[in-house]
Chain A
Amino acid sequence: DVKVTQSSRYLVKRTGEKVFLECVQDMDHENMFWYRQDPGLGLRLIYFSYDVKMKEKGDIPEGYSVSREKKERFSLILESASTNQTSMYLCASSLVRGSPLHFGNGTRLTVT
């Protein structure tokens, strides 16, 4: 069974801090994704990656960056956290393009 692990379930950070959200998958999946979920706005794609060292902007990349140095790990970076980045962050992976998505448990980030 595919396992997508997000490093933290809950996180509280201060405005201006640099924040790292980590995601690891154990099934050699090529594709990895970061979403944020907010009430009334659904799931919005921040960044995605189709292979190691590759990254593509999603629909709302502003204020975020990503890193994929190894195939199994996809990190989301908030360079300078702001209160409007308080949200639920969800990582997902899939074997190849078009194959089913598998999600991690999510990280609920609060920026104060």
Chain B
Amino acid sequence: GIQVEQSPPDLILQEGANSTLRCNFSDSVNNLQWFHQNPWGQLINLFYIPSGTKQNGRLSATTVATERYSLLYISSSQTTDSGVYFCAHRDDKIIFGKGTRLHILP
């Protein structure tokens, strides 16, 4: 099956900084989602983005399916952005990456 790899595994930034999280796939994908898991364990949908670019406030995501990657951009980070970010590929099952743990310092 498709393998999903996320990088970096951990990221520590100062409040106000920008960040880019990456998700690589071992094969082309047609269903991709980004999630944020907050410190209380809740998994929140960020983007459903099989291809192209979407923006939602300070967050945006780009998926280049033919190149087998997706990027999540966070601009002007806030402490509430802390948590773990997952990308997931949806086929018959859903395959998650191991996540990027983001810690925003005040």
The number of inter-chain residue pairs (CB within 8 angstroms) is 48
Using Cβ atoms and an 8 Å threshold, which residues of chain B touch A105? Answer: 40-42
Using Cβ atoms and an 8 Å threshold, which residues of chain A touch B64? Answer: none
The answer on a CB contact under 8 Å between B93 and A101 is: no
B residues 63-100 touching A (CB-CB < 8 Å): 86, 88, 90, 92-94, 96-99
Q: If A42-B98, A45-B93, A58-B93 touch, does A100 touch B43 (CB 8 Å cutoff)?
A: no
Using Cβ atoms and an 8 Å threshold, which residues of chain B touch A58? Answer: 93
In the complex, A101→B45 CA distance in Å? 8
Nearest-Cβ distance from residue A9 to partner chain B, whole angstroms: 9
Nearest-Cβ distance from residue B66 to partner chain A, whole angstroms: 19
The answer on a CB contact under 8 Å between A106 and B92 is: no
In the complex, A92→B42 CA distance in Å? 11
Using Cβ atoms and an 8 Å threshold, which residues of chain A touch B93? Answer: 45, 48, 58-59
In the complex, A48→B98 CA distance in Å? 20
The answer on a CB contact under 8 Å between B33 and A100 is: yes
In the complex, A98→B32 CA distance in Å? 9
With an 8 A cutoff between CB atoms, is A70 at the interface? Answer: no
The 8 Å CB contact of A45, one of B33, B48, B94, is: B94
Using Cβ atoms and an 8 Å threshold, which residues of chain B touch A101? Answer: 33, 35, 45, 88, 90, 94
- Looking at A98, A99, A102, which has the most chain B CB atoms within 10 Å of its CB? A98
In the complex, A92→B92 CA distance in Å? 14
The answer on a CB contact under 8 Å between A42 and B94 is: no
The answer on a CB contact under 8 Å between A103 and B90 is: no
Nearest-Cβ distance from residue B45 to partner chain A, whole angstroms: 6
Using Cβ atoms and an 8 Å threshold, which residues of chain B touch A92? Answer: 43, 94
Using Cβ atoms and an 8 Å threshold, which residues of chain B touch A42? Answer: 86, 96-99
The 8 Å CB contact of A98, one of B42, B45, B88, B90, is: B90
With an 8 A cutoff between CB atoms, is B62 at the interface? Answer: no
